[in-house]
Amino acid sequence: MEAKTVSLVQESFEKVKPIAPAAAEIFYSKLFELDPALKPLFPTNKEGAMVEQGNKLMTMLGAAVAGLSNIEALIPVLEGLGKRHVDYKVEPSHYDTVGAALLGTLEAGLGDDFTVEVKNAWADVYGTMADVMIKASY
């Protein structure tokens, strides 16, 4: 992965951190809009469950973005995450939907800072991460 790609993703994610709860809410709204059939895969049985899920999402995403500086160490983490997602009933096709929801969330959250270059960097990074997770799981 190119250093410029990593830098663009890491720098743009710093701008997302202050709005993490809103970004998580936007993400899940976009995800369920893109594929309502995914909603049952998430905990909604107790109050605050999606807020907690959003916190997990943003924590995991933050760790993955930080880990881009040492991709060799990040790969086994992503492989483990991919294997765990099989237990959550995640299918390979869901990764495309998640990627689209992520890019839509970043566009909404970053506004004018979501340039074509930033979008392409995120698409590259997410595609690489998703490929690692899928290959480890299926």
Q: Using CA atoms, how far apart are residues 75 and 84, in angstroms rounded to an integer?
A: 14
Q: Using CA atoms, how far apart are residues 106 and 113, in angstroms rounded to an integer?
A: 9
Helix (H) or strand (E) holding 75, with range, is helix 71-87
All domains in the chain, ordered by first residue: 3-137 (1.10.490.10)
- Joined together, the tokens standing for residue 14 give 């710093």
Per-residue pLDDT of the chain (138 residues; tens, 9 = 90+): 899 999 999 999 999 999 999 999 999 999 999 999 999 998 776 778 899 999 999 999 999 999 999 999 999 999 999 999 999 899 999 999 999 999 999 999 999 999 999 999 999 999 999 999 999 997
